[in-house]
């Protein structure tokens, strides 16, 4: 089962991708996690990716495609995978299709988690990240026990630059311009299915389970 997750930044597609991976025993492959690991490690790729991410811009295709294609070729992905954060553009989607065609495989579903922009902006503005251990919280949905302090290590919690409303708006603008065409792309391939991402997490997942069977 080969699945692509679509949806704006903060739509909750990463959360759903992890739940799908756990339920169906397939790897959750997130380009975001790959980038964050490189950024934390201070690699050349990480530094380059961070320049784009801090501005709310997408990381260029050439930094992404080979990495993802290599990842889906690994042993744990032989029965399928959930791609989260890739493809983001038509050229990436075409590159993925070409790579899969070379091994006689295709994507099975492109799941679009639909959430209005203003809801996303409000969600992300409430996120807080620990400067010590990297733990994440939300002032409304997952607040720390002590305001602005991490439950795990006691370090300060901050609003990351890429979660600030002005940056989120930029990210959404970029998403609509560059990623929204993927909706049409996968609709034309009869692979797209949509779920209402404004529901509770469990309700969104139940909708996805019904689609996947």
Q: Is the dihedral of CA 177, 113, 54, 65 positive or negative?
A: negative
Catalytic-labelled residue, pool 2, 13, 19, 128: 13
- Look up 71 and say whether it is catalytic: no
The span from the CA of 152 to the CA of 73, in Å, is 36
- Look up 209 and say whether it is catalytic: no
**Three-state SS at 9:** coil
Catalytic-labelled residue, pool 127, 149, 164, 209: 127
Catalytic-labelled residue, pool 2, 19, 88, 123: 88
Query: Angle, nearest 10°, between helix axes 31-41 and 44-54?
Result: 110
The span from the CA of 176 to the CA of 69, in Å, is 25
Catalytic-labelled residue, pool 18, 160, 164, 169: 160
Phi, psi (degrees; rounded to nearest 5) at 137: -140, 175
- Look up 160 and say whether it is catalytic: yes
- Look up 171 and say whether it is catalytic: yes
Query: Which residues are marked as active site?
Result: 13, 88, 127, 160, 171
């Amino acid at each position: 089962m080969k699945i692509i997750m679509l949806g704006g930044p903060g739509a909750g597609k990463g959360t759903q991708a992890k739940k799908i991976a756990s339920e169906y025993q397939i790897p959750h492959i997130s380009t975001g996690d790959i980038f964050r690991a490189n950024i934390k490690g201070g690699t050349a790729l990480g530094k380059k990716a961070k320049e784009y991410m801090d501005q709310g811009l997408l990381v260029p295709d050439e930094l992404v495609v080979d990495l993802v294609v290599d990842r889906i070729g690994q042993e744990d992905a032989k029965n399928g995978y959930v791609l989260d954060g890739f493809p983001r553009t038509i050229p990436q989607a075409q590159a993925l299709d070409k790579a899969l065609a070379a091994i006689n495989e295709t994507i099975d579903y492109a799941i679009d988690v639909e959430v209005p922009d203003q809801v996303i902006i409000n969600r992300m503005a409430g996120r807080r990240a620990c400067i010590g251990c990297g733990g994440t919280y939300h002032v409304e949905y997952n607040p720390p026990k002590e305001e602005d302090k991490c439950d795990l290590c006691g370090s300060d919690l901050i609003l990351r630059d890429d979660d600030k409303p002005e940056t989120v708006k930029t990210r959404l603008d970029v998403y609509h311009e560059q990623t929204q065409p993927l909706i049409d792309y996968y609709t034309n391939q009869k692979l797209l299915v949509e779920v209402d991402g404004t529901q509770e997490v469990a309700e969104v997942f139940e909708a996805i389970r019904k689609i996947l069977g």
